[in-house]
Amino acid sequence: MKKLFIASCISISLAISSCSNFLDVTPTNMGDSNTSIQTAADAKVIMNGLMSKMANVDYYGRNFPLYADAKGGDFTIASQGRGYDYLYVFNHSASSNPYANIWIQGFHSLVQINNLLANIDKLVNAGSTEDFASYKGQALTARALINFDLVRLYGKPYNMDKSSLGIPNVTKVLEYNAQEKRVSVDENYKQILQDLKDSESLLSKSKANGYINYFANKALQARVYLYMNDYDNALKAAQEIIDSKMYTLYSNADWVKSWTSMFGTESIFELGVYPNEADGGVNSLGAMFRRKGHGSAAILGNFIAADPFLTKLKTDDTDVRWGVMGSDEVGSTHLGALYKYSGSTTLAGDKNSPANSTAVNVKVIRLSEVYLIAAESALLKPSPDKNLAATYLNAIRQRSPKLDAATSNTVTLDMIADERSKELLGEGHRFFDMMRWNKSITFDDDLGNISTTNRPKTIDRTFFKTILPISLDEMNANPAIANQQNPSY
């Protein structure tokens, strides 16, 4: 089986690897999908495999965060033809460059999750005394995260048209010939929230490096509520994390070197990437943003920071975030190469060896984002609290020491948006932020003399290519969605 589609692989068990060989450890009774999971230790093996699956280059290891940054306006390309430039120029169709690997990887992961949940429920109902609670909670939260990511790729923003089509809601083990239809964005979000609320009490409130804990669940709740414009609930979830003091913001002195370490004090959910497991090498996320040729002739200089972004950062030449920016091929003073996911500008990695600079862990949710969610939510909630918004914003804004602190009289959404841009560069947020804010994106095509026929220089969320097409392969495999293609594709 070369590709995974909902219609062709939906009932494959976690214990069977014909669609993916990501399980490195053999759980008990692996040959029978109904009895392959017998103990909590077996469930942990499956969870290890799921985390590795999510860290793969087809998902968080590259494709998902790259999508949001390549399309968000904070990056540009110096030249076409180096790979993934079709993201930047929006050259997508159902049959050409559909970027379908995220769909495949996402739904394959959901198959794994639903099998795990079904097996756990069966064992519990049969009287098992094993403690599966944490694994059930992690699986449900992971399902919510994957669905949230996929609906943002294939559905319109919730606050634009929640009645439009999202993705299929696949929440159970289905027969091999099942043909699931897409449901509305609203239905997707309801399922996402249900999974998050059902799982939060099952999760540990202790740190869980490389796994999902209670606070990762709450951080995802805050993110989802923010996208729904439910600012009261977003703020409530964000404040619970902040007030717990389980995680702490990096000081200005420690911010840059934090990228050379795994599971730092800000890391709420971080996916482990290792040289022999999930490492994309010269195709990794970090490799996409490095200076051309740095560390290897195979590093192509795929994406560089756009001049409008660098202008934002230049408002303070002492901003600590300059420390992860390096010179690019434009010139020695053009600091458009991003080195977060190389560890440092000297390719230090995060595993004490420069040789592992591509195998840098992926920070899915950091405390910095939670503070920025809190700031935005406090500002925009029905009863705004501008003083609180400024307080949360300043916790991040102080990374630009020369900028005046925000106050209740000066704080604005644009200030928060700029801070999200500077803080979360390369972490997979900008495009989705611009869409939910209903802001226009103007691309820096002039830097690389890029001529594009697939999008105008400036777009907004009414442009049909701001959501991906359902691939032709998927429609052929699942005729039920053949008439549910996204508009204008």
Residue 453 confidence (pLDDT): 95
Residue 354 confidence (pLDDT): 82
CA distances from 56 to 101, 112, 271, 413, 426 (A): 11, 15, 10, 34, 17
Q: Give residue 80's domain range.
A: 39-268+363-447+455-481
Per the domain annotation, does 319 fall within a domain? no
422-467 pLDDT, tens digit per residue, is 999 999 999 999 999 999 999 999 999 998 999 999 999 999 999 9
Residue 352 confidence (pLDDT): 87
For the chain, the domain total comes to: 1
Residue 276 confidence (pLDDT): 86
The residue ranking higher by pLDDT, 35 or 412, is 412
Indicate whether 22 pLDDT > 90: no
Per the domain annotation, does 20 fall within a domain? no
299-327 pLDDT, tens digit per residue, is 999 999 999 999 999 999 999 999 999 99
- Name the band, by pLDDT with cuts 50, 70 and 90, for residue 175: confident
Reported as type and span, the H/E element at residue 338 is: strand 337-338
What share of the chain has pLDDT > 70, as a percent? 93
The average confidence (pLDDT) of the chain is 92
> What is the average pLDDT across 102-111?
96
Per the domain annotation, does 144 fall within a domain? yes
CA distances from 31 to 15, 35, 116, 128, 135 (A): 7, 8, 15, 20, 21
Per the domain annotation, does 238 fall within a domain? yes
Per the domain annotation, does 406 fall within a domain? yes
CATH of the domain at 174: 1.25.40.390
Per the domain annotation, does 113 fall within a domain? yes
Residue 456 confidence (pLDDT): 97
146-155 pLDDT, tens digit per residue, is 999 999 999 9
Residue 431 confidence (pLDDT): 98
178-195 pLDDT, tens digit per residue, is 899 999 999 999 999 999
**Cα–Cα distance between 152 and 155 in angstroms, integer?**
6
| Cα 258 off chain centre by | 19
Per the domain annotation, does 298 fall within a domain? no
> What is the average pLDDT across 168-183?
92
Indicate whether 5 pLDDT > 50: no
53-78 pLDDT, tens digit per residue, is 999 999 999 999 999 999 999 999 99
Per the domain annotation, does 358 fall within a domain? no
Hey, what are 75's tokens?
A: 């990056």
Rama region for 291: left / alpha / beta (φ>0; ψ in -120 to 50; rest): beta
The residue ranking higher by pLDDT, 177 or 474, is 474
DSSP state of 282: G
- Name the band, by pLDDT with cuts 50, 70 and 90, for residue 32: very low
